[in-house]
Amino acid sequence: MATITLKGNTIHTAGELPKVGTKAPDFELVKNDLSKASLKDFAGLRLVLNIFPSLDTGTCAASVRQFNKLAAGLENTKVLCISRDLPFAQSRFCGTEGIDNAITLSDFATGKFGKDYQLEIVDGPLANLHSRAVVVVDETGTVIYNQQVPEIVDEPDYEAALKALK
């Protein structure tokens, strides 16, 4: 179990993020058109998994905007923005915000992604949502960077995540 905070109050996640050097766990998430997406669908690409509780919070929205902007110039790289928001809400957000370099995926159906990546929040007011985390995966499916953001209202370290891709 990992300990993080929400506005200074201690909460916990299911465990530790996938370790650097290990294969990223496969997943099946829901795209905006309600079709499924898995890790295998992105084989051969570098991935930035931008994971957060909900697009309906300022910090989560800011991380999607920032990674969308930063991803525009990255070759062979996709940014996957993952939450338990409904795909309809994710689609509406991206349309309103002009998000076109990031892909939103939802774990609303099963929550299995949050459990498999050990970032499901297990207590406190955000229980069952995802913690704020970044996992970077190389072309071979290997984790090359991870960050469990210690204070959930803080933004992730964009620079460090992108540095892992250089």
What is d(CA 14, CA 127) in angstroms, rounded to the nearest whole number?
Answer: 10
CB 111 within 8 A of CB 14: no
φ/ψ of 107, rounded to 5, equals -105, 25
Query: How many other CB atoms are there within 10 angstroms of residue 27's CB atom?
Result: 22
Beta-strand (E) ranges in 7-142? 9-12, 28-30, 36-38, 46-51, 77-83, 102-106, 133-137
Closest CA to 160 of 142, 147, 149, 143: 147
Is 60 among the residues known to form the active site? yes
Q: Which of 2, 30, 60, 102 is catalytic?
A: 60
Q: How far is CA 99 from CA 31, 80, 104, 132, 147, in A?
A: 15, 12, 10, 19, 23
The first and second tokens of residue 156, run together, are 């992730």
CB 53 within 8 A of CB 66: no
The residues annotated as belonging to the active site are: 60
